Amino acid sequence: MTTEVRSLREFKMPDVGEGLTEAEILSWYVKPGDTVTDGQVVCEVETAKAAVELPIPFNGVVEQLFFPEGATVDVGTAIISVAVAGEAGAAPAAAPAPAPAVAAAAAPAVEAEPERREVLVGYGPRTGTAQRRARRTTTATATATAKAAAPAAPVAAPAPAAPVSPVELPAGERPLAKPPVRKLAKDLGIDLRSVTPTGAGGVITREDLHAHAAAQAAPAAEPVVAEAVEAVGTVAAPAPVSGSGDVRVPIKGVRKATAQAMVASAFTAPHVTEFVQVDVTRTMKFVRKLKESGELGRDVRVSPLLLVAKALLVAIKRHPEINAQWDEAAQEIVVKGQVNLGIAAATPRGLIVPNIKDAGSKTLSGLATSLGELVETARQGKTSPADMQGGTVTITNVGVFGVDTGTPILNPGEAAILAFGAVRELPWVHKGKVVPRQVTTLALSFDHRLVDGELGSRVLADVAGLLEFPKRLITWG
């Protein structure tokens, strides 16, 4: 008599191929006992860039959910197990017992067969060799492994800039010093090899370390001060004192990624921001006419942002050098061949910046369609990681919040970002008379390493000129 044999299969947190290492489980769509089919969405997760739904790649019955909603899980970690049907009459394969940690660490490395890694549908696996987190080992195991790998490597801090009378030691020989002295050297950031010993038998003493540190301080006073300031800047701020009614919100997902990106940008690229007020009365009339005529399509949303985007694209076409990136490793400025226009979008999960690929090649109608799809997808929280990669320049529409302007921070890797402020009716000199006109303020931040003041000013002036006289979109474009 044959019987149906079931075995357990685990579905791991997928690798979306964008360099992400973890994701938060937002919601489960299944529970233990539910039947699932190949391609069925079982949960929704949020990475540092987007919320995505995960389809399971096989049929079966849900056995266990390994993590609750709200848990943050590393890529490659099993999140759900499913009982799947096996061959008739076949005995289920017993799960191998985990090997002891010490034995695993001591065993020689064996090249494993390529592992089938789950990937998110539509993205594909990360190219290159996958780097995975090291397995947790006991202290004894880690120590033994470290000693086996480097039996004679001294534990020492980086050498000072100007060592005083360093002692030449044979290769592989460690400087002589007692454990407390070695600890002090590590705390002071001193390489014991650069210290001249005065103790009996060539042993380095505490006094030798203090004398060495004092000698280094004099000729390198300014660098020491700079390092001290840097060290103070890296000290964690004291924890806020909790008060009645305080609410703590975990820093994760999109918020965490945004914070890291903004800090990296603000302290890497020297920002310069320029401002200009412009009469956009004609542009606002043009927007109304496009809406009423339906020339761009019935379902196409027409807004002032569309004209601002088109004006920026035309300005970039006239000054392509601003559509560039700074390549620190190669020490080159890379002028990009196409404009991937980013639109900063505020979502319930935080700020994201999806971009329209090759926006400069699109007609006004095509740009309007792409812009509408981008905004709607962002509002629904369905923006894919691929849509947020490769941006070259960004627009942030702060005007929708009633804000006149700001000093926007560059999206990392980009050379410029344009802030579009609120459109207000203001007194304005028009044809020699002070009359009410619709006016906005534009702010352009740019990376001063690759965009000088003249280039930035010309781009901003062109955008303003196009919005003041939108017919120039035809003559200049």
Catalytic residues: 448
CA-nearest of 69, 81, 77, 80 to 22 is 77
Task: Read off the amino acid at residue 350.
Answer: G
> What is the C-alpha to C-alpha distance for residues 468 and 462, in angstroms, rounded to an integer?
10
Whether 353 contacts 411, CB under 8 Å:
yes
> What is the C-alpha to C-alpha distance for residues 358 and 339, in angstroms, rounded to an integer?
5
Provide the phi-psi class of 445: left if phi over 0, else alpha when psi is between -120 and 50, else beta: beta
Whether 322 contacts 384, CB under 8 Å:
no
Helix (H) or strand (E) holding 437: strand 433-447
DSSP-assigned beta bridge partners for residue 73:
23
Burial of 346 (0-12, 13-18, 19+ CB in 10 A): middle
> What is the C-alpha to C-alpha distance for residues 195 and 209, in angstroms, rounded to an integer?
7
Rounded to the nearest angstrom, the gap between the alpha carbon of residue 11 and the centroid of all alpha carbons in its chain is 26
Burial of 214 (0-12, 13-18, 19+ CB in 10 A): exposed
Strands (E) across 258-311 are located at 271-279
